[in-house]
A and B are shown apart, each in its own frame.
Chain A
Amino acid sequence: MTDNIETRHEPNYLEYRGKHGGILGWLTTTDHKRIGLLYFYSMMTFFLAGVVMGLLMKYELISPGEQIMGPQTYNGLFTLHGLTMIFLFVIPGVAAVFGNFFLPILIGAKDVSFPRLNLMSWYLYIIGAIVVLVSQFMGDGPPDTGWTFYAPYSLKTNTNVVAAVTGAFILGFSSILTGLNFIVTMHRLRAPGMGWLRMPLFGWALYGTGWIQLLATPVVGITFLMVIAERVLGIGFFDPAIGGDPILYQHLFWIYSHPAVYIMILPAMGAITEIIPTFARKTIFGYTAIVISSMAIAFVGYFVWGHHMFTSGMSSTSRWVFSLLTFLVAIPSAIKVFNWTATLYKGSINIQTPFLWSIAFIFVFMIGGFSGLVVGSLATDIHVHDTAFVVAHFHYIVFGGTGFAFFGALHYWYPKMFARVYNFKIANIGLLIFFIGFNLLYFPMFYLGMLGMPRRYYDYLPMFHSANTLSTIGSWIMASGLLVIIINLARARRGKGKEVDDPWDGKTLEWQIASPPPVENFEQIPVVEHGPYEY
């Protein structure tokens, strides 16, 4: 916790006053750290809105029969919940917030390669969000298709699909530009001496993510444009009544949306990979293996989309091909888990909040991963397809994976971002409540799905009652845990926390500069002489 005297006189990014001060200073900033925070605050807003929608849905499901909403409202709500959580929270997710804030610092750069483009990405993100929001109030009511917009229903429903799809298209553009920016930054701006294999692993994760963003997003972009054209211009692509193939829509949609799962999870894994060595006080086990597995996940993950379509009526050949490829992608994911746990072996483990989040991450991620094998194999998938089992599975991966890593990363880098520490004890209690609530909320859904409870229904048979009630109670517990966590962090931000520079004694470059980081990060670009995790 040494004061970095030589950088202290530099204004930090929070106090810096450029041409504009105040709110305008934030809205016109090209500082990657401020853009990271812009993403952070806007994403947290959407995330909390999504949580409220989830709570309402769970409340509807507390008992059989209609509680607080009818079927159409429920359909609109799960669509909006999906859109919000997927496109506005987890896809930008860890990359947009912590990638923006820390990638340049981790590789020893002053900013990303295209700072103005970076700000534009954020604006596109906000515009996309507004368009999605507007779709709820315009036309003939909120879209009720689910976030997947499956044809032909999305072509036939009277609800406002066009606006929602346009919003998703704009959000995709924002995501592409962020990925592009990060890739170029890593190619051009690594500090002298930082070869590719000395780059922190969070960087590598973002590199793989960037490529998926570049290569997968346009495919769904064009698919959405085709849906719009079909609805607005009356030309035909996917409507079976005019010879179109709705399964082709599913192919195109998942060509993006499966890799999108890796857009969500890769940066999350990268963040966990940064946290674990710091708290094991030990260099990461198998640096190269993690690099290769990141790239392998990005690559193989591109070819497994068909496992969302096992019951759609595609050919049996492609079913087993996709099942095989799906099992292959489990290998690099497992390699990472192995590396994390092996890093802990014989480490001097420092049990702190971010570390606990990482362990919780590994736990829920593994449940999510193993249940993924259940839905990834043909025979079992037919039994659980479109049931609550699938809902449980992807919430364990997407929320349990990305969400836990997001909060882990937040607790890890919080002192760096704001130069304050939160109350560790309350943070740990919050995590515990959150963790219990999370499992109580989603684990019963595995059981419900096995029994055959379908997803996306506002009502269910009486036989599913007790497990659903348990799940709803879990949602309340989880929400209270979330509240504790957020209040604790907000209190620290308001100056209640102790001022610190580096509470964890991290070794990567971000811990070598002052907290909060100076405007230009480094007065002099550092020269790197060894790998990122030298303990």
Chain B
Amino acid sequence: MENEKHHIVPSYMTHIMVLLGLILLTVITVLITSVELGAYNTAAAMLIASLKGAVVLLYFMHLKFDHKIYWIMVSLVIAIFTAVIVVTFFDYLYR
């Protein structure tokens, strides 16, 4: 982690495109959940939410442009949290 700044400055246009993408995904998720897909509704809604989350992390929060240590840390934290949910559900799924 060198001290000097990373000078990759995302342009205004990048941010606007990312925003449009996020809005599009939001519209899609609302539309998808209004049709009957059974259990897939929840899966689709969560998948799209995760996708949106990833976009926010990568572009708005600069993970894509920053030093990769942040990326590693974020991935680890998300992995650990996911694992905690899975392990918790070992109880509820089989009770």
Which A residues are closer than 8 A to B by beta carbons? Answer: 187-188, 215, 247, 251, 255, 299, 302-303, 306, 314-318, 321-322
Contacts and interface: CB of A to CB of B under 8 A. Distances in A.
Nearest to B1: A187
Nearest 4 CB-CB pairings of A with B: A318-B90, A317-B94, A315-B94, A318-B91
A167 to B, nearest CB: 26
Q: Which of B83, B90, B91 has the most CB of A within 10 A?
A: B91
Given A215-B77, A215-B80, A302-B80, A315 B87 contact: no
Interface string B61-88: 0000000010000000100110110011
Given A215-B77, A215-B80, A303 B87 contact: yes
A315 B93 contact: yes
Contacts of B83: 303
A317 B80 CA distance: 20
Contacts of B92: 315
B7 interface: no
- Interface range for B: 10 to 19
A136 B31 CA distance: 55
A317 B88 CA distance: 11
A177 B8 CA distance: 31
22 contacts: A187-B1, A187-B69, A247-B91, A255-B84, A302-B80, A302-B84, A303-B83, A303-B87, A306-B87, A306-B91, A314-B91, A314-B95, A315-B90, A315-B91, A315-B92, A315-B93, A315-B94, A315-B95, A317-B94, A318-B87, A318-B91, A321-B87
A318 B94 contact: yes
Nearest to B84: A255
Contacts of B1: 187-188
A247 B91 CA distance: 10
Given A187-B1, A215-B77, A303 B84 contact: yes
A187 B90 CA distance: 36
B46 to A, nearest CB: 20
Contacts of B81: 215
Interface string B1-41: 10000000000000000000000000000000000000000
A316 B77 CA distance: 28
Given A255-B88, A317-B90, A318-B94, 16 more contacts: A215-B81, A255-B84, A299-B80, A302-B80, A302-B84, A303-B83, A303-B87, A306-B91, A315-B90, A315-B91, A316-B94, A317-B91, A317-B93, A318-B87, A321-B87, A322-B87
A25 B14 CA distance: 51
Contacts of A318: 87, 90-91, 94
Contacts of A317: 90-91, 93-94
A303 B82 CA distance: 11
Contacts of B94: 315-318
A306 B84 CA distance: 11
Nearest to A312: B91
A321 B90 contact: yes
A215 B92 CA distance: 23
B77 to A, nearest CB: 7
A251 B91 contact: yes
Contacts of B90: 315, 317-318, 321
B88 to A, nearest CB: 6
Contacts of B80: 215, 299, 302
A215 to B, nearest CB: 6
A315 B95 CA distance: 4
B74 to A, nearest CB: 12
Nearest to A247: B91
Nearest to B69: A187
Contacts of A187: 1, 69
A360 B69 CA distance: 40
A172 B88 CA distance: 22
A299 B95 CA distance: 26
A90 to B, nearest CB: 23
A318 B90 CA distance: 5
Nearest to A325: B87
B88 A251 contact: yes
A295 to B, nearest CB: 11
Contacts of A315: 90-95
Contacts of A306: 87, 91
Nearest to B87: A303
B2 to A, nearest CB: 11
A215 B80 CA distance: 9
A302 B86 CA distance: 13
Contacts of A322: 87
Q: Which of A188, A247, A302, A318 has the most CB of B within 10 A?
A: A318
A518 to B, nearest CB: 26
A374 B83 CA distance: 26
B3 to A, nearest CB: 9
A188 to B, nearest CB: 8
A259 B15 CA distance: 40
A187 B83 CA distance: 26
Contacts of A316: 94
Nearest to A303: B87
A315 B69 CA distance: 38
A533 B80 CA distance: 33
